Amino acid sequence: MAAKDLWSTDPRDALRVGPDFDLASFDRNGQPGWDGDKDDGQAYLPERGEEMSELQERLFAEGREGGKRSVLLVLQGLDTAGKGGIVRHVVGMVDPQGVALASFGVPTEEERSHHYLWRIEKELPPPGRIGVFDRSHYEDVLVVRVDELVPEDVWRARYDEINAWEKELVEGGTTIIKVALMVSYAEQGERLMERLERPDKHWKFNPGDLDTRSKWPAFQEAYADVFRLTSTEDAPWYVVPADKKWYSRLAITEILTRTLEELDPQWPVADFDVEEMKKALVATGEDAPA
């Protein structure tokens, strides 16, 4: 039996940042648009994953035949928000051939010697691919702003610059989906503690995460400005409650799948005579030539 589709509102409408968005009152434990519970969500997820995977393969085939379209999923969120889980559990449902994944950490010396978009541009998805950014150019107006890594006039100028840059990308055939996973302070505390309590999770913990946590209000303010200043018609932000991992995975899968459905990529038509090829194949016989 098919699992039930319990989306009462398209998550793109339920989660898109509009002019009235208010991060301070945003419920990080919510499940906007989904009328079911966790079990319903977990039952529905693989179905949508399969649909997403087939559409991705079509997009890939289209790209092989000269199509120019691609998708870029930008993932932002503080430590423990679940970016890695989205990569593993959502993006992991599609053929890895069709995915171009890039993670952006502290810039290397070489990267720092270039414009901040230099390292980003190198990782843009080729046609037919779903690019996934685990952190992105937005770090250059988030951690860079909070830690005062450049003067204020420099980071302030970046919002407009990013909007213009993304607009160009969209005009070139890339559909940009920007997702911010917003975890609550209490939930982040629990997830960090779990990383400390479990030896198999120590590798995910970084003492600097506590430093970042201590700057929570400044990061919230920086995120609020990102949403206020860079959620554009061309490349809107979706703010996803991240305290329920099952919900964030379900919602992002749905956003990706519906986006691909609208792109509606088609299987390329063969540029050879299929019937003729069948005859030629039959003529090769069943026994290997001696």
Given 141, 144, 250, 260, the residue binding ligand AMP (CB under 6 A): 144
Rule CB under 6 A: is residue 104 a binding residue for ligand AMP?
yes
Buried b or exposed e, range 208-239, using 16+ CB within 10 angstroms: ebeebbeeeeebbebbebbbeebbbeebbbbb
Rule CB under 6 A: is residue 181 a binding residue for ligand AMP?
no
Rule CB under 6 A: is residue 205 a binding residue for ligand AMP?
no
Buried b or exposed e, range 245-284, using 16+ CB within 10 angstroms: bbbbbbbbbbbbbbbbeeeebeeeeeeeeeeeeeeeeeee
| Cα–Cα distance for residue pair 237/227, rounded to 1 Å | 7
| Cα–Cα distance for residue pair 13/230, rounded to 1 Å | 17
Rule CB under 6 A: is residue 101 a binding residue for ligand AMP?
no
Per CB under 5 A, contacts with Mg ion among 73-92 are 79
Nearest residue to ligand AMP by CB is: 139
Q: How far is the CB of 136 from ligand AMP (least distance, A)?
A: 8
Rule CB under 5 A: is residue 139 a binding residue for Mg ion?
no
Q: In what order do the strands lie in the sheet with 99-103?
A: 99-103, 130-134, 70-76, 174-182, 237-241
Indicate the residue among 10 and 211 with the shorter CB distance to Mg ion.
211
Instruction: Pick the piece of the chain touching ligand AMP (CB under 6 A) from 104-112, 182-190, 253-261, 272-280.
Output: 104-112
Q: How far is the CB of 205 from ligand AMP (least distance, A)?
A: 9
Q: How far is the CB of 174 from ligand AMP (least distance, A)?
A: 21
Residues in contact with ligand AMP by CB under 6 A are: 79, 104-107, 135, 139-140, 143-144
